[in-house]
Structure formats: C-alpha cells, structure tokens
Amino acid sequence: MAQPAVTVSDPWEMALEQFHRAARYVPLKRGIREFLAYPKRELTVNFPVKMDDGSVRIFTGYRVHHSTVLGPTKGGIRYHPGVTLNEVRALAMWMTWKCAIAGLPYGGAKGGVVCDPKQLSSGELERLTRRYATEISVLMGPESDIPAPDVGTNPQVMAWIMDTYSMHRGYSVPAVVTGKPVSVGGSVGREEATGLGCALVAREAAAAVGLDLKGARVAVQGFGNVGSVAALTLARMGAVVVAVSDSRGGVYDPHGLDPEALLACKRATGTVADFPQGQRVSAEEVLEVPCDVLVPAALEGQITPDNARRVQARVIIEGANGPTTPEADDVLRSRNVLVVPDILANAGGVIVSYFEWVQDLQAFFWTEEEVRQRLERLLVRGFQEVWRVSEQRGVDLRTAALVRAIERVADALYTRGIYP
C-alpha cells in the first residue's frame, strides 16, 4: 500500500502517523480506531519549588494515561527542558503498544517535568520530585498507575516518589513505582534491563538477517542508562563498539572502543566526547559512521529523511523511544535497512519493571538469574511474533509490531465492551 508523504517532527504526530499506518491492516469496528488514537486522560500541573537561594520557582509537569484497556497504566517520568504535552502523549501511546506486544497486563502512560535536572541541586531535585509526585498522586497508585525512570530520572528519584506516596498513605507502598533501588523494593536487573534487552533483540535481529554479531561494528547514539548498557552487553557478545555519543558530542574509532573505559570517562568528565582515543565526531555524525548495527538511544526524531540516506548500518535497534520519523522509516525501508522498532527493541525496561511490581506485590524477590531468564523469554517471544506478522503480512517490523499490539488491545476492548 502506498504510504502518504509526511514530514513530521512532533512526537505526537509521529505516533499518530505510525498508528494510522498500522491500523489499516487491522479490521477495527467503527469508532475503535478513533478510541485507540485518543489519550484516555491528561493531567497538567504547575507547581512551586523552593530553590536553594530562597526563591520559589514554578515548574510545569504532565502525566498522561493513553489506555487502561489491558490494566493499570505504566510509563516512565522524564525530566528534560524539552518536555511538552505532545511528547508525553506520544510516549504514553508507545507504552500502550509496548506493553501489549510483551504481553504485560498494563496500559500505557508517561509523565514529564519541564526542567533541566543537571542545573538543579540534589535538594532542589528532591523537592521538585516530591511535589510533582504529590501533584500526580490523584492518578498514581500501585493498582492504577505505576511510574518508572526515563531520561533525566534515576533510581533515587523513584525512591523519593515511593517515599512521598508512602508518607501520604502512612505505610510503605513499594509497588507504586518501579526502577527503585534494590534496598527499597527494587528488582535486581532493572537498571540494566533496557540496554540488556536491546542487546538481546539485536542478537535475534542479527540472526534473522544472517549477520554475525561477533565482530559486527556497533554505533550507539546516547550513552545514558540504555545506550551504555547496550554497548557494554553487545561488546560482551563479541561485537565491536566503533562509535558512541552523548549530548556533548561523540567519538569514533574503526578499530573499536572499550565501553568500560568510555563509561569511566563519562563518569569522570560528564561526557564521552572527552575520550582520549579515536576521532571526535558530533552527536549527529555518530548516526552516519560505517557500522553494521546502529543503536539510537537518546531522544525522539533523530533519524530524519535527510540523514536516513546516509545511515550505513544494516540493522537499527531503537533503544530510544521514537528515534525514527515515519518519513525516515520509508527511506530506510527503500534502502533495505532493518529497523527493529522501539516498542519491541527497548521493551526490556518495562518487562523488568513489571517483574519488580509483581515482586513488590508479593513481597517475594527473585534472583538475578530468574529475572534475566524471564526477560529473555518474553523478549525473544515478542521478537518472533513480530517477525512472523511481518513475514505473513509483508510489512516492516514497526508496522508488524503495531498490528500485533493494536489487535491485542482491540481484542480486550471488544471483550470488555464499551461502558456503559
């Protein structure tokens, strides 16, 4: 089927465009396509935070629930100066599809605060987090909406959210949020789950296209939680990391870079761009270096129709959410570049978040081995299902993944019925 030519950079337009492209392949009853395209509820909060210098600053935050058809909502919280309602809407919708593909009993949500966490002191970050958690507590709860980390947030922020919610209740409620430190009810293996999952999915994708991961050249955009663990794990699997970048720039060496040393450099100087080996490249150039596997693990809209023509990788593993615009997807497809979509490739995070929630609810904790085995089982199953749909319908992996997700959510919706 011919795809419309669209130029989109707004994440919500991107998410809708992807959804409508895939929904054409799913026979939906009247009105259901529209139902699935709308976020169920959206909360905007403007709230004050006492700053260290004694002043009071007003911050804006959001929490969006896209769907509650499959269960309580699940989705991360982002702290970034570029957060917008449309970005949070898109990320919430992608969470719905991601959970559906993985077979998790969750709908999709996302939250965000417009702020630059790097410019805030630890005390300011804690006060901002506790106030934001209080503001969204009308939606949040272990049975209704369970946040997790995303860009700019980490296990410490999750611990503050858990503590704030627990203080309001008068008793500890660890299952209200995932991605917590293990000491307060977190799961072993959660912090590295998304990056590890990307590497496992890369292994499946490489095998599917006959690419030997041993010796395969890997480039990673974004060296945060997802990108750094993906690089470390792929290197352990035998791949050669040739380029990495973060927001301040990147480094390229065709002979290979040591991800452990890159991590040490990032910890010491705040950026991989200061790495004393290889050639300095810009954050964007990393997407175009000679490599076999490209892992965009930074932010949305990075692979555009323009640079998609210069991507040299054979396989793209979307560690980030929404890194490829729909128009760039068309270019990559025409150039036979295999794109493993975000809603499949980075599902490792929400899968282990689900495991954390289950462990918290049961107050019974698993070993790292159990977590890893269960994660691998769900990811491999998800990949195989999506691959099968892609072959059966003759569509790319993103469309196949969305078709599978839309079918699952629609099926549950028909069974539940429209209330009243």
Closest CA to 315 of 297, 330, 293: 293
C-alpha distance from residue 196 to each of 199, 217, 369 (Å): 5, 17, 13
Active site residues: 110
Instruction: Give the residues across from 293 on adjacent strands.
Output: 218, 315
Residue 318 has which token pair? Answer: 């979307």
What type of residue is 16? L
Is 263 in a helix, a strand, or coil? Answer: helix
- Give the nearer residue to ligand NAD in terms of CB position, either 151 or 213: 151
Packing angle, helices 348-362 and 193-209, rounded to 10: 130
Is 241 in a helix, a strand, or coil? Answer: strand
| Cβ-Cβ contacts under 8 Å for 130 (sequence gap 6 or more) | 160, 161, 163, 164
The distance of closest approach from Cβ of residue 28 to ligand NAD in the complex, given in angstroms and rounded to an integer, is 27
Residue 92 has phi, psi (to 5 degrees) of: -65, -45
The distance of closest approach from Cβ of residue 265 to ligand NAD in the complex, given in angstroms and rounded to an integer, is 12
The distance of closest approach from Cβ of residue 160 to ligand NAD in the complex, given in angstroms and rounded to an integer, is 17
Residue 289 has phi, psi (to 5 degrees) of: -70, 155
Give the one residue of 112, 224, 259, 382 binding ligand NAD; rule: CB under 6 A. Answer: 224
- Give the nearer residue to ligand NAD in terms of CB position, either 349 or 410: 349
Of 9-17, 23-31, 133-141, 220-228, the segment contacting ligand NAD by CB under 6 A is: 220-228
**249 vs 405: CA distance, rounded Å:** 36
**55 vs 413: CA distance, rounded Å:** 49
- Give the nearer residue to ligand NAD in terms of CB position, either 70 or 88: 88
Of 138-146, 205-213, 297-305, 402-410, the segment contacting ligand NAD by CB under 6 A is: 297-305
Give the one residue of 67, 129, 187, 221 binding ligand NAD; rule: CB under 6 A. Answer: 221
x-marked contacts with ligand NAD along 245-284 as a string, rule CB under 6 A: xxx-----------------------------------x-
User: Scanning residues 137 to 156, which ones bind ligand NAD (CB under 6 A)?
Assistant: 149-152
Of 40-48, 128-136, 253-261, 292-300, the segment contacting ligand NAD by CB under 6 A is: 292-300
Q: How many residues bind ligand NAD (CB under 6 A)?
A: 24
C-alpha distance from residue 389 to each of 155, 192, 340, 342, 408 (Å): 36, 29, 13, 17, 13
- Give the nearer residue to ligand NAD in terms of CB position, either 216 or 299: 299
- Give the nearer residue to ligand NAD in terms of CB position, either 83 or 205: 83
Cβ atoms 97, 410 nearer than 8 A: no
Minimal CB distance to ligand NAD: which residue? 224
**11 vs 340: CA distance, rounded Å:** 18
- Give the nearer residue to ligand NAD in terms of CB position, either 149 or 259: 149
x-marked contacts with ligand NAD along 62-101 as a string, rule CB under 6 A: ----------------------------------------
Of 34-42, 50-58, 304-312, 319-327, the segment contacting ligand NAD by CB under 6 A is: 319-327
- Give the nearer residue to ligand NAD in terms of CB position, either 133 or 229: 229
Give the one residue of 102, 201, 297, 303 binding ligand NAD; rule: CB under 6 A. Answer: 297
Binding of ligand NAD by 117 (CB under 6 A):
no
Binding of ligand NAD by 233 (CB under 6 A):
no
x-marked contacts with ligand NAD along 387-416 as a string, rule CB under 6 A: ------------------------------
Binding of ligand NAD by 319 (CB under 6 A):
yes
Binding of ligand NAD by 299 (CB under 6 A):
yes
- Give the nearer residue to ligand NAD in terms of CB position, either 149 or 413: 149
Binding of ligand NAD by 298 (CB under 6 A):
yes
Closest CA to 11 of 74, 76, 64, 89: 89
Is 137 in a helix, a strand, or coil? Answer: helix
**347 vs 194: CA distance, rounded Å:** 7
Whether a cis peptide bond, with omega within 30° of 0, leads into 420 is yes
**Residue-by-residue DSSP string for 79-96:** EETT--HHHHHHHHHHHH
Binding site for ligand NAD (CB under 6 A): 149-152, 194, 221-227, 245-247, 283, 297-299, 319-321, 346, 349
